[in-house]
Chains A and B, each alone.
Chain A
Amino acid sequence: MSEYLYVGRNIPRTIEADKVTGKAVYIDDFKRPGMLHGKILYSRYAHAKIVHVDASRARALPGVKAVLTGVDIPDVRVGFIRDQRVLKRDKVRQFRDEVAAVAATSPEIATEALGLIDVEYEELPAVFDPFEAMKRDAPLIHDVDARGKPIRSNVLPLPWRFKEGDIDGARETSAYVTKERVSTTWVNQCCMGTSGCVAEFDSNKNLTLWNQTNVIFGDKGRISEYFQRIGLGGKKIRIINPIVGGSFGTKLDTDIYEFICIQLALATGKPVKIQFTREEEFIALPPRQPAVFDIEQGCDRDGRLTFRKVEAVLDNGAYTSWGATTPSVMMMPMSSLYRVPNVSFEATCVYTNNIYCQAMRGYGNPQASFAVETSMDSLAEAAGIDPGEFRMINRNLPGEITPMRLKITSCGLKECIESVRSKLDWKNRHGRHNGRGVGMASLIHVAGGARVYKSDGHGIMVKVDEEGCVDVLESGTDQGQGSPTVISQMAAEALGLHAKDVRVIFGDTALSLWDAGTHASRHTFMAGKAALIACADAKRQMLEIAVEQIPKLVNRRFKSQKRKDPSFVPPDLDWSLVADPEAMDIRGGVIFPKSRPDHPIFRIDARDVLKAGLHVGTGESRVVMAEAFYDPPTEMLDREMKGNLSCSYAFGTTGAEVEVDRETGRVKIVNLVAAHDVGRAMNPCLLLGQVYGAVYTGVGYALTEEIKTVKGRVVNGNFRDYQILTAMDEFPIEPVIVETDDEAGPFGAKGVGEPGLVPTAPAIANAIYDAIGVRIRDLPITPEKVLAAMKEKDAC
């Protein structure tokens, strides 16, 4: 890509040097003068009435500045469907229910104070299985909804129903039909930096909240709305991100601890920090949404998919956060992964006394794709068609419109499947059933924004100072994915200035326009699109200044030359070359006429032009500042859950070769190929980092990670018992970048943050089937499950 100076290059992350010198300030490191420390008291039961709370002993402890219980704060419900109070009154519904909170001068004193709060409970019967919870006689988790209307069932009234075509009719005409149940469980995001925030009110009761949210404006909006209901309506809110220690979906909602922190700050009049310990991060942080899928698919004699019917049951836990909205994303692979004309998908979310869930990298897609791709393999087998070939037959095509009305623009799925087949030597390695096997799975994901809110906009402000230094005021957030570098590349490319002179400011609601959120792998796409518009405007301003200033600069130079050398005669110049901004351009920090890029006189350093434009002394100073708010031409899902919610879609295929130890059921990954259609790689090195990280998390999801609970209580809430992979759990990974140069994307780019994870688990599950003929349909695929399945198979 020699046409670009920065786009497509491996510009290193030098701008983030603070992270390697210990200087980067994370929320853990962040302090405010007079700051207090907040700690939360969690419930001792999964389901119980709160009979009495006595905080008097805690309040008396020296160093304690406030103790709040449910009755000490306004009775306001928060959350996606307003089913939860910040501090619980009356009842606790899960082990992590927040019953009280303490602010003290040190975390140790605050923790000690928690032990002095006496809570009397009356235990209630609990339910921990969504299928049990759906039954008539199950204990009712909630009695009333947000409006006070009585609730009679644990099933949530959510609209997750999708239908296109005629399923029954398609089933009749299918040559092959398979049906199976597939399930996934909770896994923890495992951000290395734990959750935390600092809340501080100024003397006018305006709030500044330092937190790690990826949706700074969404967070602000929810808190503002909360303020309305607690008597602080109209007070200003400013959300600021410190450096964030990972996100992976944990920072898309306004968590209860944020509201608690705000209430403690209000109660004490001091800044308050709440910082989760790792134990809390496992026990009190909503994990990935589990799901049970009953999936049925059919195809004709030639292997073309005829229908796909899926019914899903989701354990909603005690309250509702983004986990309950994962079906809206699941619809995407359900309806649009591979071409299938008749689709029906129904998801039921059920309250239980388990932990409730939020987003995690992939947001429902990994779960759904595990179901779809397990079923694809089963169906391929039933039809007697090689699974790779089966996918090829049904692959998505550029330009198609899916049953969900997604408009596929670029689609590199064919190249991805082919690349996996060739790199895994699929022809020779599939079907041996000798303890080694290969498997594959593909993905579709949003890659050009995602209209989950009415606005999918992204605002950006670009200012270029007289030194040629650029500040990009970004409304997105940085979670470590490399945005400071990638956005500086795109901005520099669009402006024609140096990437090293571009600084990106993230995560401050006071300093940026609005953004829907750094989620759905949309940051590079949205920031890029907005930057292109703003930078085009800024460039135009710079060129207008150039037109005004270049003649003056040149003449001044000639005068100075004449002074030094009286015999100097200024050359004849074609001044029309620098008379029209449209006829000029900037590249590599230099301004020049388009038609004569090497002009010896009119090639001028942009800095000289900008300085001249500012220091004119005639009252006509010019500064360069541009803004853009890019809201893509996409649709929200309508009542039928259909609509083109993204400008473009990412595709990819993961292939795995595994070796199974028949005596122990242990699965070893011999090779893993991850092929991704990324549109265009803005920075291949950073992009690979996203893929490697996502793949590793995907392998953990497939084989080792699970949050274990016993009657609702998390029992493996630490890094020793929760099996996140270490550096010694390596396997060969081969990433393949496929560039389809999407028409919608900035410089052709599509998002890639999540796709790397999505198809990993089914690829491995399918490879295990190829290796030993047993199919594990329940994640994680532990050696016990494999061994037990092999024994059962041998016994038959």
Chain B
Amino acid sequence: MIDYEYKKPKSLDEVFTLMKAYGSASRVIAGGTDLMVTMRRARKSPGVLISLRGLEDLKYIRKDDAYHVGALATHRMLECSSLVRDELTALQEGAAKVGSVQIRNVATVGGNICNAAPSADTAGPLLALDAIVVLRGPEGERHIPLAEFFKGPGKTVRQRDEVLIELEIPLEMGGYGSSYWKHSRREAMNLPLVGIAAALHLTAEGLIDDARIALTVAAPTPVRALKAEEFLKGKTPERDVLVEAGKIASSPECCSPRDSLRCDAWYREEIIRVYVARMLALAVERAGNGGSST
């Protein structure tokens, strides 16, 4: 039976007070596009929903000493931000491909990350862009690299009384060329069968001096294809090199896609192999433009 009280705190402090008062009977809700569905399907709900939607000051995209994306920034904000599109292209592409305009208008990037679905479309790009998760609790703040944030499907290191308030991306990532490929059977309204995010930095001579490849739906949590990244360092970004990186990225050394009702493992591996190479090529192009996608 779905029965809950819906609280609309106006500040983080109020959120913490409510969390403390209701404890495990409560759950935080942001855009709600995941939780409303989960509750409907399970026909169950927590006793109290604590809405974060009133926290307008967590809804921002800024660049100063780093890129700061407020947890309540919607996917639509990321999609339409020229800053994100130009400098953190993979993130714009990931956000832009989630669901539909209607979903993107309310679904938040914080919610997407906290939900920790292996398929989250912003997770791969954020991972490739070295994002740091900023958690705030009643005791203070923690900064956790995204790579250490996911523990398993649906599980993160966030404590029950913490709120994800921001995703921070190091300033230098703006100089990387990046790209994101969401592989699905149709062009909209899908979860990815596989997600591939790539970010590259080139030297002045055009060699790869840093590479990031993040894969989603290829392991229990979003992962970096570290062996493939290592392989790329110092190399010329030619087709053969990128194709080889794709092979490594799709190997058991880097990922472990499974069979699921949506897709077989062998096909996921093929897509990873093919699209890592293709996304690297796109990232190279964009890196050549100084990190811009335009």
Contacts and interface: CB of A to CB of B under 8 A. Distances in A.
B186 A783 contact: no
A716 B274 contact: no
B264 A715 contact: no
Interface stretch (A130-138, A623-631, A633-641, A718-726): A718-726
A664 B263 CA distance: 13
A618 to B, nearest CB: 66
Contacts of A710: 261
B191 A725 contact: no
B106 interface: no
B262 A721 contact: yes
Contact of A704 (B186, B189, B191, B264): B186
A111 interface: yes
B190 A720 contact: yes
B185 interface: yes
A710 B267 CA distance: 20
Nearest to B99: A720
Given A723-B185, A784-B264, A784-B267, A663 B274 contact: yes
A9 interface: no
A721 B184 CA distance: 10
B270 A664 contact: yes
Given A664-B270, A787-B270, A729 B187 contact: yes
A386 interface: no
Interface residues of B, number: 18
A728 interface: yes
A294 interface: no
B204 interface: no
A719 B270 contact: no
Interface string A692-720: 00000000000010001010000110011
Interface in B244-273: 261-264, 267, 270-271
Interface in B135-175: none
A708 B264 CA distance: 13
A112 interface: yes
A433 B270 CA distance: 23
A489 to B, nearest CB: 36
B1 interface: yes
A710 B188 CA distance: 26
A705 to B, nearest CB: 10
B128 to A, nearest CB: 21
Contacts of B186: 704, 723, 725-726, 728-729
B93 to A, nearest CB: 15
Which of A708, A710, A715, A723 gathers the greatest number of chain B CB atoms within 10 Å? Answer: A723
Contacts, number: 46
A394 to B, nearest CB: 35
Given A664-B270, A664-B274, A729 B188 contact: yes
A720 B189 contact: yes
Interface in B181-216: 185-191
Contacts of A721: 261-262
A723 B261 CA distance: 13
Interface of B is mostly: loop
Contacts of A729: 186-188
Nearest to A725: B186
Given A663-B274, A664-B274, A728 B188 contact: yes
A716 B261 contact: yes
B130 to A, nearest CB: 29
A727 B187 CA distance: 9
Contacts of A663: 270, 274
A715 B267 CA distance: 20
Contacts of B264: 784
A704 B188 CA distance: 13
A729 B262 CA distance: 19
Interface in A453-504: none
Contacts of B267: 783-784, 787
A660 to B, nearest CB: 14
A653 B167 CA distance: 55
B261 to A, nearest CB: 5
A719 B103 CA distance: 14
B271 A664 contact: yes
A698 to B, nearest CB: 15
A719 B189 contact: yes
Contacts of A720: 189-191
B240 to A, nearest CB: 15
Contacts of B271: 664
A784 B262 CA distance: 11
Nearest to A784: B267
Given A708-B261, A721-B261, A726 B188 contact: yes
Contacts of A111: 43
A720 to B, nearest CB: 7
Nearest to A715: B261
A746 B66 CA distance: 72
Contacts of B187: 726, 728-729
A740 B263 CA distance: 47
Interface in A507-560: none
A663 B190 CA distance: 22
Contacts of A719: 189
Interface in A777-796: 782-784, 787
A545 to B, nearest CB: 57
B41 to A, nearest CB: 8
Contacts of A726: 186-189
Interface in A650-665: 663-664
A708 B260 CA distance: 12
A663 B2 CA distance: 47
B185 A704 contact: yes
Nearest to B190: A720
B214 to A, nearest CB: 20
Nearest to B263: A784
Interface string B1-21: 110000000000000000000
A345 to B, nearest CB: 34
Contacts of A664: 270-271, 274
B204 to A, nearest CB: 32
Which of B187, B189, B274 gathers the greatest number of chain A CB atoms within 10 Å? Answer: B189
Nearest to B261: A715
Nearest to B183: A664
Interface string A728-743: 1100000000000000
A704 B189 CA distance: 14
B288 to A, nearest CB: 24
A764 to B, nearest CB: 15
A728 B185 CA distance: 12
A158 B271 CA distance: 46
Nearest to B271: A664
A787 B267 CA distance: 9
B141 to A, nearest CB: 36
A725 B184 CA distance: 12
B76 to A, nearest CB: 16
Interface in A324-378: none
B280 to A, nearest CB: 14
A97 B190 CA distance: 30
A3 B81 CA distance: 58
Contacts of B2: 108
A720 B37 CA distance: 12
B281 to A, nearest CB: 13
Nearest to B262: A721
A377 to B, nearest CB: 25
Nearest to B41: A279
A704 B262 CA distance: 12
Nearest to A708: B261
5 contacts: A725-B186, A726-B187, A729-B188, A782-B185, A783-B185
Interface of B: 1-2, 43, 185-191, 261-264, 267, 270-271, 274
Given A115-B43, A720-B190, A782-B185, 10 more contacts: A112-B43, A663-B270, A664-B274, A704-B186, A720-B191, A721-B262, A726-B186, A726-B188, A726-B189, A784-B267
Nearest 8 interchain pairs by C-beta:
A728-B187, A726-B188, A728-B188, A663-B274, A784-B267, A723-B185, A729-B186, A729-B187
